[in-house]
Structure 1
């Protein structure tokens, strides 16, 4: 029968012995009679039915029932197995088999059970507790739950031949007889014991294991032969934690004022040694780490700090045959305040110790040495066998920078205490990553780690003066000088004119050249002024405005100004082949006075003396690569690279070729200065201002690895600070406010039934293939198979015929696109249709041809690019332009279109944005509507989510599939393939 919730009831707890798990508890609801006494009507209560009785329970009851439930056999089984391969009974029989049992799993379960019981026991205070009868009666014998804590006194009686050891228990001042009383320990850590139907718990967190041996034994005998070792280990620990009565040896309680001690010791990380496959007996100095450990000295006794778990420390002293235990009381309040002080100083100790790289540890000591000594700390060193002693005093660098005509003069002095170290010596040490050297007094000075960060760029970029003793710094390192000055790392005297370079809004306004035809928008005029300012100082620059903002017209204005300043040499403009015609048209329109030579074609005249008759020479990257041995001998005024991301790879032939060109000034133009990695920036910045970012090796270690591998924000900001004066980047949203709105929408398409079947089969195949490859060879070695698999799935999401030419079914996306196209064309609009896949465009060409719809077309194999553009721009009957994303994302002006379709999502939205900018650019008067077509329940939908989670990485570093895949983790791949 069930207990009635309408009648009085009482919750009780019953302790029982589990065959495998020890003593456990059950909770029962018992009906009360008219006298509010317990009846025989009871009902087991669990988390499943506890809500029925909640009005009669308190929060401790609710928590107890929850904890009791967690120790039920089936819940133990679920927690430690998780599957349903066998029954609960079979699980316990196998795990606890006397011969073949799983000992490790038994220990894990026992630890878990003890942890739960330790949380449960205090909640039983004030509750009704019973021992369950053998017949399952939950109220067989009532147990009195004693409210106060009992105490334990441990006795050690040293005799001639042995030592007797036993505990005594007291409750409320009276001795409790617990031996041979059928007492049993319900919980070990801490101990809860039932003695003659009374439940005891103890002060000082007594461990039940220390009481259990005495339930059926009066005492334990320790033989004389093991006495000293036993006393040192076991007896010392008992004296430390508990009250002890000793006979036959002495316990002295002593009190002293504490003194904190910091000890420095060298210790090479074993992990480092193993990772380097080194012989651990032959340790390299640069691999050595330093441990800083905290101890407290009380009188003549020193104790290593470990925790605040005990107020006393015990040390054993043996005098002849006598033992003396020194029980020294520690001042925990003082020790905690000491630890807090170290924490505020940046030393976060764990278990009284912290291991740091040697230079970092000594930098901390040197910085805080005076504070520590004033606070009463003792600082000790564990001196090596060779007698090495470290310098612990104050150290600093004084740097003074003065602006010269063509460079900055650098004067620097380094101090370690009273010693002045030659700046050249310190510079060489830092560049070689050496962190210590010997002072004249024999002490070893450790270069503070912060110096490697604060001054590494200065040390890397400075050069020896060619005419006198000293160092200089090229003027394009202006930002480094200003940052050192603003961070109080150097004093600098700079001209007001040079100070303005970091904020081009304050740059002096220059007159437009008289031969310029047209007008510049305010931001374009600011760009022209910026380039003129760079020209005055012979600095190179990167004009990185968004596509469509007029980089061409700004550059032509600069070149016209050079002509009018009577600069004798011509300028060389290097472009992708597809942009030659565009530059010729723009030059005729805005700067008709410029004499232009187009140096291209198989039959070009290779007489470079002809260049003298022109103001501007237009050529292509391909021609530069072929003719570099000829062209490098000519001195140009400007060498300008359009779409300069073409030289992003430092090791490519074209990059090596353009680096050899000889010119007075250099300029690069790009809408995407950074594509694959930060190394793209190094190539372009090194071209315009050689040495600006140091050597390739320096840049990789200083910036590329910290930024791309570690996400180091400080390095990102530092890199931006260095290049900021020489890179002008404006977004359309900032400056082209006259542009009409751009409205972007996502259109979700459903796969056809046949298409979905093909997709799911392929997804299952590639998921198993990719995950097996990752498990076997790791993520780094699986990037190609991941890319191949994801590409196949993307193609299937578009149309299965892109993968299987024999596929005869339809595609949900193709039909949706055609429906949307039909409604748009009927209203007279023009549309750009972009796809990454030429195969996808072929499917649409086939459909449009079938329907006799005219269109323009452009992919990488198209020869008449400009003709296709003009056909679309000028012919009203051509409303559709099919374009491959890679071939048509740059250099096209397609303002006749006011709709843009993105057929398949690109890994990085920035590339899609460039495609959209073919229509949404200066000259556009209509609102531009963009539709991104996504197939539901495919990898395309997952890519959208992944783009958001990796948005920062994508925006800053990634635009190619390969680099996107490199950024994926195994969890990312699982998410894409789920």
Structure 2
């Protein structure tokens, strides 16, 4: 009789666990030849695949652990296996994925477009990072009212395109159009979005990643740990490598019930052995990563504007520019600063600019709160990871009213207290808040502070994340606030998240600050008055919302 075909998947399964079967027969011994043995050692992460340096055309440097990540992605791709890059937040999953696509392009292996699916709130970030690090990649967004609505129109729009960005919502809504494209690969970002395997967006993602749809690689990116979440692992692996864990009923009987219901450790070991080769997770606390990382990691969080924000922003600019043009000279300075403040508030949330009071708001106000602001949506996604990891975070804002709104919203969402320290906080309350955050093991994970009241004189080293939700347009003031956490006594790396609303006044001033910072950090004085002396045409360039 002819020997049954023996695949790499079979070899992986047999070497991953004891007591495996092949063709329903128990396997008692398995010996791999030298070439297969070398591959299996790399799969099981007993030996790392060779690191790859940044490919030609990549604008930037990769840290050593990122070169190892790129080598790992390329290794799994070579054997047509799906990969889950689950590095901790801030270790640069975006950069490693872009470097991998640029590697394919440099090797002339990128023949067809790759589809990347992400939450709406991070599309801007992807676009920005791709433009900065991989300018050779031709990037297209499948998003917005003008997106192609038929397979032919989409195929026409994708001529010469390397990477297409879309959202989970559109993946589901436009599945018939997206399905007809011959993608070279499908990447899902924030892959925890498909953890509920019965949700429509999860099914749409898994369907698009099916090997039967033609040869396409599959990559998942997530910052949350996946290997310990039994019920969510199946959905992820069914997207990446459906053969690994079989169908859902088999998985439920073989792994989920024994582990979740009876705490069966041998089933858990078996499960980890099966999925281990396809998940790469590095932690900021890992000693081999620490040597590659600076003490303070600064991350720009690019966000867009929600429809209501856009409308309010444009209306405010239009009305204010007319008024400033007509104002007597002595009043112009004050009116310019008032406009910039109002635009900053709109970039945070329309409720702040419209002076809506959380104390008198009804339930629907909080239900719709996140949907009204792209910044809040992105903040929630990052905080989800912070909370899951058991980390603590400082959240800075310059607006007391925004602090109250955010406090009410976050407390409702996470059902735990979020203290807010601002100008009116008494000295006794202030010390009690700091002590509970710093010393109490069951103390709050999130601490809101106003930049003026909480930006100096506090020691908050329990935090390993600092968020600048809105920006004080002076680098020295922001750095002072960051140093509440990043100071002597800090045991962890500090991740600093700076939110920037793309295309708005926030982006333009961020650019101006960077240029000024190169000259001297304190050139702009301690306040924001340096922005008040602009003439109307300069101001118009600064505040007009760019279409992009």
Question: What range describes the TM-score normalised by the shorter chain of this pair?
Answer: 0.5 to 0.7
Q: Secondary structure at the match of 1:516?
A: coil
Report the counterpart of residue 654 of structure 1 in structure 2: 201
Q: Partners in 1 of 2:204 and 2:290 — Cα distance?
A: 36
User: Is the CA contact (8 Å cut-off) linking 2:53 and 2:67 kept in structure 1?
Assistant: no
Report the counterpart of residue 218 of structure 1 in structure 2: none
1:694 Cα deviation from its structure 2 partner: 1.1
Report the counterpart of residue 695 of structure 1 in structure 2: 247
State TM-score, norm by structure 1.
0.31
Q: Partners in 2 of 1:554 and 1:707 — Cα distance?
A: 33
- Indicate whether 1:575 and 2:114 are aligned: no
Alignment of 1:129-148 (within 5 A): none
Q: Pick the aligned partner of 1:490 from 26, 29, 46.
A: 29
Q: Partners in 2 of 1:706 and 1:511 — Cα distance?
A: 43
Q: Pick the aligned partner of 2:485 from 928, 931, 941.
A: 928
1:886 Cα deviation from its structure 2 partner: 10
Deviations 1:225-284 (A, max 9, x none): xxxxxxxxxxxxxxxxxxxxxxxxxxxxxxxxxxxxxxxxxxxxxxxxxxxxxxxxxxxx
Q: Pick the aligned partner of 1:629 from 176, 185, 210.
A: 176
Deviations 1:63-115 (A, max 9, x none): xxxxxxxxxxxxxxxxxxxxxxxxxxxxxxxxxxxxxxxxxxxxxxxxxxxxx
Q: Secondary structure at the match of 1:574?
A: strand
Q: Pick the aligned partner of 1:683 from 199, 218, 235.
A: 235
1:498 Cα deviation from its structure 2 partner: 3.5
Compared with structure 1, are the counterparts of its residues 511 and 476 closer, same or farther at alpha carbon in structure 2 (3 Å cutoff)?
farther
Q: Partners in 2 of 1:887 and 1:526 — Cα distance?
A: 41
Compared with structure 1, are the counterparts of its residues 868 and 630 closer, same or farther at alpha carbon in structure 2 (3 Å cutoff)?
closer
User: Is the CA contact (8 Å cut-off) linking 1:740 and 1:928 kept in structure 2?
Assistant: no
Q: Partners in 2 of 1:867 and 1:568 — Cα distance?
A: 35
Report the counterpart of residue 56 of structure 2 in structure 1: 514
Q: Secondary structure at the match of 1:919?
A: strand
- Structure with more of its chain in strand, by fraction: 1
Q: Displaced runs of 4+ in structure 1, greater than 3 A?
A: 468-474, 476-479, 483-488, 673-677, 736-742, 844-849, 866-869, 875-889, 899-904, 911-918, 923-927
Report the counterpart of residue 73 of structure 2 in structure 1: 531
Compared with structure 1, are the counterparts of its residues 592 and 507 closer, same or farther at alpha carbon in structure 2 (3 Å cutoff)?
same
1:677 Cα deviation from its structure 2 partner: 4.8
Alignment of 1:577-976 (within 5 A): 577-606=120-149, 607-609=153-155, 610-661=157-208, 662=213, 663-674=215-226, 677-734=229-286, 735-736=289-290, 738=293, 740=295, 859-865=369-375, 877=398, 882=406, 884-885=409-410, 919=466, 926=483, 928=485
1:720 Cα deviation from its structure 2 partner: 0.9
Q: Partners in 2 of 1:848 and 1:519 — Cα distance?
A: 49
Q: Partners in 2 of 1:887 and 1:730 — Cα distance?
A: 32
Q: Partners in 1 of 2:44 and 2:80 — Cα distance?
A: 15
Q: Partners in 2 of 1:728 and 1:677 — Cα distance?
A: 15
Compared with structure 1, are the counterparts of its residues 614 and 917 closer, same or farther at alpha carbon in structure 2 (3 Å cutoff)?
farther
User: Is the CA contact (8 Å cut-off) linking 2:16 and 2:274 kept in structure 1?
Assistant: no
Q: Partners in 2 of 1:549 and 1:569 — Cα distance?
A: 28
Compared with structure 1, are the counterparts of its residues 691 and 518 closer, same or farther at alpha carbon in structure 2 (3 Å cutoff)?
same
Deviations 1:670-694 (A, max 9, x none): 1125499512110111111121111
Q: Partners in 1 of 2:259 and 2:206 — Cα distance?
A: 26
1:572 Cα deviation from its structure 2 partner: 0.4
Q: Which has the higher contact order (CA 8 A, sep 6+)?
A: 2
- Indicate whether 1:564 and 2:110 are aligned: no
User: Is the CA contact (8 Å cut-off) linking 1:544 and 1:671 kept in structure 2?
Assistant: yes
Deviations 1:525-564 (A, max 9, x none): 1111110111111110001111121111111111111121
Deviations 1:836-860 (A, max 9, x none): xx9xx9xx996999xxxxxxxx952
Deviations 1:295-349 (A, max 9, x none): xxxxxxxxxxxxxxxxxxxxxxxxxxxxxxxxxxxxxxxxxxxxxxxxxxxxxxx
Report the counterpart of residue 796 of structure 1 in structure 2: none
Compared with structure 1, are the counterparts of its residues 573 and 628 closer, same or farther at alpha carbon in structure 2 (3 Å cutoff)?
same
Structure 2 unaligned segments of length 5 or more: list them.
21-26, 298-348, 361-367, 380-393, 415-429, 449-462, 469-477, 488-548
Q: Partners in 1 of 2:79 and 2:447 — Cα distance?
A: 33
Q: Partners in 2 of 1:537 and 1:470 — Cα distance?
A: 22
1:926 Cα deviation from its structure 2 partner: 3.9
User: Is the CA contact (8 Å cut-off) linking 1:524 and 1:550 kept in structure 2?
Assistant: yes
Deviations 1:169-216 (A, max 9, x none): xxxxxxxxxxxxxxxxxxxxxxxxxxxxxxxxxxxxxxxxxxxxxxxx
Deviations 1:778-814 (A, max 9, x none): xxxxxxxxxxxxxxxxxxxxxxxxxxxxxxxxxxxxx
User: Is the CA contact (8 Å cut-off) linking 2:137 and 2:162 kept in structure 1?
Assistant: yes
1:582 Cα deviation from its structure 2 partner: 0.9
Q: Partners in 2 of 1:631 and 1:878 — Cα distance?
A: 43
Q: Partners in 1 of 2:435 and 2:67 — Cα distance?
A: 34
Report the counterpart of residue 458 of structure 2 in structure 1: none
User: Is the CA contact (8 Å cut-off) linking 1:504 and 1:526 kept in structure 2?
Assistant: no
- Between structure 1 and structure 2, the one with the greater Rg is 1
Compared with structure 1, are the counterparts of its residues 877 and 728 closer, same or farther at alpha carbon in structure 2 (3 Å cutoff)?
same
1:665 Cα deviation from its structure 2 partner: 0.2
User: Is the CA contact (8 Å cut-off) linking 1:541 and 1:726 kept in structure 2?
Assistant: yes
Q: Partners in 2 of 1:902 and 1:684 — Cα distance?
A: 41
1:486 Cα deviation from its structure 2 partner: 9.8
User: Is the CA contact (8 Å cut-off) linking 2:16 and 2:44 kept in structure 1?
Assistant: no
1:919 Cα deviation from its structure 2 partner: 2.7
RMSD: 4.5
- Structure with more of its chain in helix, by fraction: 2
Q: Partners in 2 of 1:693 and 1:493 — Cα distance?
A: 23
1:707 Cα deviation from its structure 2 partner: 0.9
Q: Partners in 2 of 1:700 and 1:860 — Cα distance?
A: 35
Q: Partners in 1 of 2:260 and 2:96 — Cα distance?
A: 33
Compared with structure 1, are the counterparts of its residues 913 and 541 closer, same or farther at alpha carbon in structure 2 (3 Å cutoff)?
farther
Deviations 1:439-488 (A, max 9, x none): xxxxxxxxxxxxxxxxxxxxxxxxxxxxx855445424544221457998
Q: Partners in 2 of 1:513 and 1:901 — Cα distance?
A: 47
Compared with structure 1, are the counterparts of its residues 677 and 613 closer, same or farther at alpha carbon in structure 2 (3 Å cutoff)?
same
Q: Partners in 1 of 2:42 and 2:411 — Cα distance?
A: 39
Q: Partners in 2 of 1:902 and 1:605 — Cα distance?
A: 55
Q: Secondary structure at the match of 2:117?
A: strand
